[in-house]
Chain A
Amino acid sequence: MSELHLSSKIGHDDIKTEPIRKGFGRGLVAAGKTDENVVALCADLTDSTQMGLFRETFPERFVEIGVAEQNLVTVAAGMSALGKIPFTSSYAAFSPGRNWEQIRTTICLNDRPVKIVGSHAGISVGPDGATHQMLEDIALMRVLPNMIVVVPGDSVEAEKATRAIALNGKPSYIRLAREATPIFTTENTPFEIGKAYVLREGHDITLFGTGTMTYECLIAARILASDGIEAEVVHVPTIKPLDSQTILASVRKTGRALTAEEAQMNGGLGGAIAELLGEQLPTPLKRVGMRDRFGESGKPTELLEKFNLTGKHIAMNVHEFVDQFDRYHQ
């Protein structure tokens, strides 16, 4: 769709790749230039979470917390009381993994615009293993009243998302991945918190993707097209608030839905869309993601393969799903 200005290299081997977290690093500096109230706090992972660029640009607005994630978010809550817009970063396994209650009470119930940046989320963290592969963060953050949940699809979108949440005045969670992944959007692709985007039109099934899995949905759609199935691909970078209008409109057209995420599907994007469709438009649904289990050590590509988180696997899932569906409706 031309108005989305997507990369012309989608599906090609030479598509440019970059870790999503890099876009966050640039977006944070841009946000810091736009609003002098933006401050950054980190729990001893400054370079790894890409806060180093902000630290170099605005040293007086950077606060090192040390390995103390509970203190990370509560110091930030205090700073926000004096008009600051704090971004707090760590690995998602530790923040929001360890400090959920502090986020609930001092940020969400207290309604302070603190930003929780969870880096190294998902299975593609790789060799560090299950302890560091955060899969439950979407579910943890999504259930909190007042919290906004954003999962950018690539580094270019992460930059825009970071600038947007800096100015939204709300508690917000942004989820970042470690590995370099394809950049399928461009500078001119729109991004707005709370909007889902139809990246490819189709009429047989809707593939909903978030984060790194949206690109895999695009790959799946290309495979499916060659098999005669026209899949619509909807990118859902904001999981809360969910863009129910776009989601329902697509499913009304296709009648079938599949969700894909690098996270626990229970409570994740899969959970969110199942809830929406269950209440408003009961629709056959297939969920791709981690199904109630932990990851393990391995190369990112090996793990994505093992846990069926690739475009090829999504396409296989769609075939099975469509066959089942057709048998049922015969």
Chain B
Amino acid sequence: MSGQLTIKQMEQMANTIREDIIRMLEHAGSGHSAGPLDLADIFTALYFNIMKNDPKNPDWEDRDILILSNGHTVPVRYATMANAGYFDRDELKTLRQLGTRLQGHPERTRLPGMETTSGPLGSGLSQASGMAYVLKNIDPNPHRWVYCVMGDGELNEGNIWEAAMFAGKNKLHNLVGIIDRNNIQIDGNTEDIMPLEDLKAKWEAFGWHVQEIDGHNIESIIDACSMARAIVEKPSVIIAHTIPGKGVPFMEYDYHWHGAPPNSEQAREALKKLRTLGGKITGEHE
């Protein structure tokens, strides 16, 4: 565990991570804004509470595994890992620069703790399923869990549903999928591009236990993962409803920010909004 932060401290941490994301993207001059920002609460909860992980020993053999399937949102993972102590926060500004360990899309072989290489969508859940299969059936280890974060636009990919069938068939109860249900993808809103609803019914039909939560409520995220671990009959998926661009009002709900970074003026404005957040966040930023 990376420490026992209170819910309030985790909310502050999520805000710090959002600020880091804005600075990283501004500095890089390219990259995706909306997804990383809306995943900040989920990643904070995963690294600072839910997952067994040790920043000083990223290959710890009893660690829980996190697969990031929608690799384009990796700035949130980099920022969370840096804040958890996997590497120095200064390194965040190397995002997407020549020679960096923080590639535009994550590469396992470059950064300890990055469990797999991803970017092309749809293949994370299969890899997570392969891992969960080994931990359930071949080298049984009831104390390790495999988490897989997916985007909602990513669910257009057939590979996801192949994995959903496989995990359902094999009742991979040690597998927890988390869908970032922010309702946007590059070309527009998900329900206009390729409708996903009834999403809950789809996953249930594939043999999964499904929960729907507020993806910005850290307590709900932690509770939902506890519930998922308590379900022993089937794999679990958590549909986490999020606001794309969360925390930066001019980015929120606007699909144009899916694949764009802020320029320096926009970054300044974003950081100002993140630091005040209507008085909800207190502490070091005030």
Contact = CB atoms under 8 A, between A and B. Distances in A.
A74 B127 contact: yes
B138 A61 contact: yes
Given A39-B138, A105-B120, A78 B129 contact: yes
Contact of A110 (B65, B117, B129, B166): B117
Contact of B127 (A39, A84, A106, A109): A106
Contacts, number: 100
A101 B120 contact: yes
Looking at chain B's contact residues, the main secondary structure is helix
B117 A78 contact: no
Contact of A75 (B116, B120, B129): B129
Nearest to B119: A105
Interface string B137-162: 11100000000000000000011001
Nearest to A106: B123
Contacts of A106: 116-118, 123, 127
Interface string B115-136: 1111110110011111111110
Contacts of A68: 162, 165-166
B134 A70 contact: no
A287 B191 CA distance: 52
Contact of A71 (B118, B119, B138, B159): B159
B137 to A, nearest CB: 7
Interface of B: 65, 67, 107-109, 115-120, 122-123, 126-135, 137-139, 158-159, 162-163, 165-166
B126 A75 contact: yes
Contact of B128 (A61, A78, A101): A78
A39 B116 CA distance: 20
A20 interface: no
B108 A75 contact: no
Interface string A101-116: 1100110011100000
A82 B135 contact: yes
A102 B163 contact: no
A38 to B, nearest CB: 11
Q: Which of A39, A81, A84, A86 has the most CB of B within 10 A?
A: A81
Contacts of B116: 77-78, 81, 106, 110
Interface in A56-82: 60-61, 63, 65-66, 68, 70-71, 74-82
B162 A70 contact: yes
A74 B126 contact: yes
A105 B123 contact: yes
A72 B208 CA distance: 20
Nearest to B169: A66
Contacts of B139: 82-83
Given A74-B123, A76-B130, A105-B120, A84 B158 contact: no
A147 to B, nearest CB: 15
Contacts of A80: 130
A74 B118 contact: no
Contacts of A77: 116, 123, 126-127, 130
A65 B166 contact: yes
Q: Which of B107, B137, B138 has the most CB of A within 10 A?
A: B138
A79 B165 CA distance: 17
Contacts of A39: 138
Q: Which of B123, B135, B166 has the most CB of A within 10 A?
A: B123
Contacts of B163: 71, 74-75
Nearest to A81: B131
A326 B126 CA distance: 58
B133 A71 contact: no
A60 B116 CA distance: 25
Nearest to B118: A105
B211 to A, nearest CB: 23
A257 to B, nearest CB: 37
Contacts of B65: 81
Q: Which of A65, A74, A110, A111 has the most CB of B within 10 A?
A: A74
A231 to B, nearest CB: 44
A76 B127 CA distance: 7
Contacts of A74: 123, 126-127, 130, 159, 163
20 contacts: A60-B137, A61-B138, A63-B133, A65-B166, A68-B162, A70-B126, A71-B163, A71-B165, A74-B123, A74-B159, A74-B163, A75-B130, A75-B133, A83-B139, A84-B134, A86-B130, A105-B119, A106-B127, A110-B108, A111-B108
B123 A70 contact: yes
Nearest to B122: A70
Contact of A109 (B67, B107, B135, B165): B107
A281 B127 CA distance: 44
Nearest to B146: A78
A86 B130 CA distance: 10
Nearest to B107: A109
Nearest to B159: A70
Nearest to B137: A60
